[in-house]
Structure 1
Amino acid sequence: MGRVVRFHQHGGPEVLAVETIDVVPPGRGEVRIWIKALGLNRAEALLRRGTYIETAKFPSGLGLEAAGIVEAVGEGVASFAPDDIVSIVPPLSMVRWPAYAELANFPTELLVKHPPELGFEAAAAVWMQYLTAYGALIDIAGLRRGNVVAITAASSSVGLAAIQIANRIGAIPVALTRTSAKRRALRDAGAAHVIASHEEDIGARLAEIAGSNGVRVVFDAVGGPAFEPLTKAMSSGGILIEYGGLSPEPTPFPLLNVLGKSLTLRGYLVHEITRDPARLARAKTFILDGLSDGSLKPIIAKTFRFEDIVEAHRFLESNEQFGKIVVTI
């Protein structure tokens, strides 16, 4: 038996409940984990509300990130053993492989033996943010030393991961945030420049920062009207990678900017990396090396207890956090 978080209907955080269920033994190629910490993601709030790319099957579990200790291994598993310290790469389906649980089974390809000194809370805050940012900036955009990269929703865990990755390779991260309230924290987190999008002219500030070279990469989680000034500030042949859609307003297609500069506008999901073994292996190496040398360091906004999952989700949707929200078990 083990406790899990499930929901029986779509809705706000209040539909989440901690329940006790039977936990089946790990199947062939699977490992059962004593989970010690969970990393929260906006995707889980979307699944809970019924607006995610995946459909819940009631009663539905949820969760994409966890860290813990191997409790048992299934048939055919040779690469992991009981007491191994592991963290979870986000699965293709959180309905099939939900992480909000005390005990959960995962296929071995989702497990990583992270550095033990990282600690469970930090390890639970690693894979979604760094894989998402790495896949967009390094794997797809080919971000290079000296490139200017504009990062929207910069105070999110993925935004902060993008800032750290840009700095690690010598690029110039420009953080976009709604107001000046998080300006100091973003500079302390490594942003070379910070733009308060509700207070400043985005296009003018980006032009001032990037100069004649323009912004080669835009990493955007928002969409909406900002597409126009963002693309206007981009360099010829630049790429805008869209991985979210936080703006409630329509997103215009900036036709003249796209045509005049031969821009690439590309949608992106982290699953592009996680379902490709070769690309995932390269990403793991980059991220583990960065964790080891200290250039990548998860920033945790706040930690909640497992019993307080409803409050954790309320905080997740408040947009007040700076970094990752973690739940401990």
Structure 2
Amino acid sequence: MRAARCTSYGKPSGIEVTETDDLEPGPGEVLVRVHAAAVNYPDVLVAADRYQVSAPLPFTPGSEFAGVVAALGEGVTGPPVGSPVAGAVFTGAFAEQVVAPVVALRPIPDGLDMVHAAAFHVAYGTAYHALVTVGGAVAGEWAAVLGAAGGVGSATVDVASRLGLHVVAAASSPQRLAVARELGAEQGIDYVHEDLKARLREVTGGDGVHLVVDPVGGDHAEAALRALRRHGRFITVGYADGRIPRIPLNLVLLKNAIIRGFEARMMREEAPEAVAAAQHALAGMVRDGMRPMVSEVHPLEDVAAALTAVAERRTTGKVVLDLTPTR
């Protein structure tokens, strides 16, 4: 099979596509024939060995995929061979085959093709859990979304607006803010050229936002935290900026604020009922017409270029690799 391979840690340019041995599922695992795989910022970090967990070399990068069940491992009774599924793994998705634990697979909601299915579960699951499961969002509240045109950010804007929140999108250019507005953001702040704290207070009538979802980190995290109203919630879900914020805890004390994190793997293990509730809610939104924003689709051979574009934050929405079988 064809697979992207990382043989040394570093920039995406070092990742090459080569022929490797076919895979076999082990006990509790499922072999999936990959049709599409989404490119996420954590994939860049894993390839550079800058993620919270290291991947032993050599490895196939990629975490999010959609495809068709090809074989079941020992003890696995379903989904049946031939079933369309989407899933997430730590590494291995940028290949024509991937092996995943059966618990990591999800049915594809009706209405999504393989490309959009690959771009859906991680970003939209993160968005829903950050807003609802962890963030306790209530319709009518003000929610600020940082990195609002990126993969997780755009999904969060989309879900939040459908939940009846007043969404303030924060992004790095007018063009990226225009993307967020198309997804339902009521207000936009260019945090490169505008004072994020002051503008968040201004657009909310002076009181500040109830909720912040931050997949970016860096300097903008503290500014957004300072714009929380009392008893507000700040949800950290990633660090696309490359810098983990150092937050003055007195801000939390003075505001009686709550800071919480969300990490998808822990949610699957610790709160399966919340995962099921999110899947049900998101499937309903898909039936109502919601689709992930896919800005670029590349063949597997362009994996290095796709990862580089995501690493340099030149993309909006999701970038997807197309591995549709040709034989």
**TM tier relative to shorter chain:** over 0.9
How far did residue 320 of structure 1 move? 1.5
**How does the TM-score come out when normalised to structure 1?**
0.92
Structure 2: runs of 5+ lacking an equivalent: none
Compute the RMSD of aligned alpha carbons. 1.8
How far did residue 287 of structure 1 move? 1.6
Instruction: Show CA shifts across 1:141-168 (max 9, x none).
Output: 1001011111101111111111111112
- Asked if 1 retains the 8 angstrom alpha-carbon contact of 2:171 and 2:189, the reply is yes
- 2:34 is equivalent to residue 39 of structure 1: no
- Asked if 1 retains the 8 angstrom alpha-carbon contact of 2:37 and 2:322, the reply is yes
Any residues of structure 2 matched to 1:308-319 within 5 Å, and which? Answer: 308-319=302-313
- Asked if 2 retains the 8 angstrom alpha-carbon contact of 1:227 and 1:254, the reply is no
- Asked if 2 retains the 8 angstrom alpha-carbon contact of 1:216 and 1:238, the reply is yes
Structure 1: runs of 5+ lacking an equivalent: none
- 2:89 is equivalent to residue 115 of structure 1: no
Distance 1:249 1:42, change over 3 A: closer
> 3-state DSSP class of the match of 1:236?
strand
Instruction: Show CA shifts across 1:200-247 (max 9, x none).
Output: 121221112112542111111233333443222211111111122234
Aligned length, in residue pairs:
322
Query: 2:75 maps to what in 1?
Result: 76
> 3-state DSSP class of the match of 1:208?
helix
- Asked if 2 retains the 8 angstrom alpha-carbon contact of 1:242 and 1:267, the reply is yes
Query: 1:176 maps to what in 2?
Result: 170
Query: 2:259 maps to what in 1?
Result: 265
- Asked if 1 retains the 8 angstrom alpha-carbon contact of 2:112 and 2:291, the reply is no
Any residues of structure 2 matched to 1:7-22 within 5 Å, and which? Answer: 7-22=6-21
- Asked if 2 retains the 8 angstrom alpha-carbon contact of 1:150 and 1:219, the reply is yes
- 2:277 is equivalent to residue 282 of structure 1: yes
> 3-state DSSP class of the match of 2:193?
coil
Query: 1:65 maps to what in 2?
Result: 64
Query: 2:225 maps to what in 1?
Result: 231
Any residues of structure 2 matched to 1:128-167 within 5 Å, and which? Answer: 128-167=122-161
- 2:201 is equivalent to residue 207 of structure 1: yes
- Asked if 1 retains the 8 angstrom alpha-carbon contact of 2:134 and 2:260, the reply is no
Q: 4+ runs of 1 displaced by more than 6 Å?
A: none
* Identical aligned residues as a percent: 30
**How does the TM-score come out when normalised to structure 2?**
0.93
Q: Distance in 2 between matches of 1:271 and 1:208?
A: 37
> 3-state DSSP class of the match of 1:117?
coil
- Asked if 2 retains the 8 angstrom alpha-carbon contact of 1:224 and 1:249, the reply is yes
- Asked if 1 retains the 8 angstrom alpha-carbon contact of 2:233 and 2:258, the reply is yes
> 3-state DSSP class of the match of 1:304?
strand
Q: Distance in 2 between matches of 1:116 and 1:34?
A: 19
Q: Distance in 2 between matches of 1:116 and 1:164?
A: 18
How far did residue 10 of structure 1 move? 0.7
- 2:315 is equivalent to residue 321 of structure 1: yes
Q: Distance in 2 between matches of 1:68 and 1:233?
A: 42
Query: 2:94 maps to what in 1?
Result: 100
Instruction: Show CA shifts across 1:258-310 (max 9, x none).
Output: 2221112233322232223222212211222211222x310001000011111
> 3-state DSSP class of the match of 2:298?
strand
Q: Distance in 1 between matches of 2:286 and 2:254?
A: 40
Q: Which moved more, 1:219-228 or 1:7-16?
A: 219-228
How far did residue 256 of structure 1 move? 4.3
Letter of the structure 2 residue corresponding to residue 80 of structure 1: P
Letter of the structure 2 residue corresponding to residue 103 of structure 1: Q
> 3-state DSSP class of the match of 1:118?
coil
- Could you say which structure has the greater relative contact order, defined with CA pairs below 8 angstroms and 6 or more residues apart? 2
Distance 1:168 1:252, change over 3 A: same
Q: Distance in 2 between matches of 1:61 and 1:249?
A: 25
Q: Distance in 2 between matches of 1:141 and 1:262?
A: 15
Q: Distance in 2 between matches of 1:115 and 1:226?
A: 35
Q: Distance in 1 between matches of 2:47 and 2:168?
A: 32
Distance 1:80 1:289, change over 3 A: same
